Amino acid sequence: MEIARRFIKERILSRDEFVLLLQQSGDADVREMLRQEAFALCRKYYGNKVYIRGLIEFTNYCKNNCYYCGIRRDNRNVRRYRLTEEEILSCCREGYALGYRTFVLQGGDDPYFTDERMTELIRRIKENHPDCAITLSIGEREKESYRKFREAGADRYLLRHETADEAHYRSLHPQEMSLSHRMKCLYDLKELGYQVGAGFMVGSPGQTLVNIADDLLFLHRLQPEMVGIGPFIPHHDTRYAGEKAGSVDMTIFLLSVIRILLPKVLLPATTALGTMDPFGREKGLLAGANVVMPNLSPEKNRKDYSLYDNKICTGEEAAQSIAALRKKVESVGCQVVTDRGDALR
């Protein structure tokens, strides 16, 4: 209780103190105290607004082989797809008509989408929808590539750091990937003027409370505009098939902690959270989250973007079900808004 109070007051703790705080994530009083503070901060800066982002999963080809991910390169059981430029533009048109003003282009790390193809795509989306924000989520690239995308009109970039601990990073990723490069990408993106999103999985294999404390300290150093966290969920075609999933309660607790750590951050109640608990997203919104990212991908491809098992992609998860989503959001006293929802700086 004492440490939670201090955190609310100072908005930062030392590494050891964060570990102490995380050890109390099961304490109902501590949870409720942080939740209320997080909720109040969210109200203070964003009112009861919930921002919606149309998520377009435009390719599931990936040259990386992250051990936890269902669409990793070596998984032969994935039916690979790539949307055409026309298909992507048509997702945006449909999304625009539904009220979406941010399009998140998310994909595997797919070399087919060269800098030239990406910039052309970004240009065309901006041409059709000059009042919309474009968020990219396409992995690690050279700073020069990020610069071209930015000049073509990209506004934001999501690149979860996954874990801020070198050894833990090594255990989740193959040799050819490195934490230092990922962090360099995040700082490059910031320098180029992107609104940047980092983040990590909660309960990923081997994750300790000390790792999470380091994730929090890293987020505090980076000062990202957005943070994406969701529970780890095993995928049957990975080495972690038999691991247990991350905890919904810990995820909710961390949403509150992150809201307090970075009061103005844009914080999604993620698909993974909604997958693990039918009320996961509502709980997230009550604990400091203020963004949801419904799926705008073509129906026919949705189930092939299988990062983890049982990923929800129809029903209220679909961008098309915006009326149902509004109801859900209103059930917890919030209101879906359709403006771009840029980060407050």
* Position 68 contacts ligand 5AD (CB under 6 A): yes
Burial label, 29 (beta-carbon count in 10 A; 0-12, 13-18, 19+) = exposed
Query: Binding marks (x or -) toward ligand 5AD, 172..211, rule CB under 6 A?
Result: -----------------------------x----------
Judge whether 105 and 133 are in contact, CB under 8 Å: no
Q: What is the DSSP string of 271-328?
A: HHHHHH-TTHHHHHHTTT--EE--B-S-HHHHTT--SSTT---SGGGBGGGHHHHHHH
Judge whether 138 and 145 are in contact, CB under 8 Å: no
The answer to whether the annotation marks 162 as part of a ligand binding site is: yes
Residues with Cβ within 8 Å of residue 184, at least 6 apart in sequence: none
The letter for the amino acid at 93 is R
Select 139 or 341, whichever has its Cβ closest to ligand 5AD: 139
* Of positions 11, 82, 143, 160, contacts ligand 5AD by CB under 6 A: 160
* Of positions 267, 272, 276, 318, contacts ligand 5AD by CB under 6 A: 272
* Position 291 contacts ligand 5AD (CB under 6 A): no
* Position 104 contacts ligand 5AD (CB under 6 A): no
Residues that bind ligand 5AD (rule: CB under 6 A) add up to a total of 12
Shortest gap between Cβ of 107 and ligand 5AD (angstroms)? 10
* Of positions 113, 157, 232, 253, contacts ligand 5AD by CB under 6 A: 232
Judge whether 280 and 248 are in contact, CB under 8 Å: yes
> Rounded to whole angstroms, how far apart are CA atoms 149 and 36?
39
Binding positions for ligand 5AD, 292-331, rule CB under 6 A: 307-308
Shortest gap between Cβ of 246 and ligand 5AD (angstroms)? 7
Shortest gap between Cβ of 169 and ligand 5AD (angstroms)? 12
Which one of the spans 87-95, 164-172, 178-186, 229-237 is the region binding ligand 5AD (CB under 6 A)?
A: 229-237
Residues with Cβ within 8 Å of residue 341, at least 6 apart in sequence: 49, 51, 53, 101, 102, 133, 266, 291
Select 17 or 309, whichever has its Cβ closest to ligand 5AD: 309
Convert 280-299 to b/e letters by CB count within 10 Å (16 or more is b): bbbbbbbbbbbbbbbbbbbe
> Rounded to whole angstroms, how far apart are CA atoms 71 and 77?
9
User: The tokens of 82 are what?
Assistant: 């790539």
* Position 162 contacts ligand 5AD (CB under 6 A): yes
Annotated binding residues for S-adenosyl-L-methionine, written as ranges, equal: 162, 182
Q: Which positions touch ligand 5AD (CB under 6 A)?
A: 68-69, 160, 162, 201, 230, 232-233, 235, 272, 307-308
Annotated binding residues for [4Fe-4S] cluster, written as ranges, equal: 62, 66, 69
Annotated binding residues for (3R)-3-methyl-D-ornithine, written as ranges, equal: 137
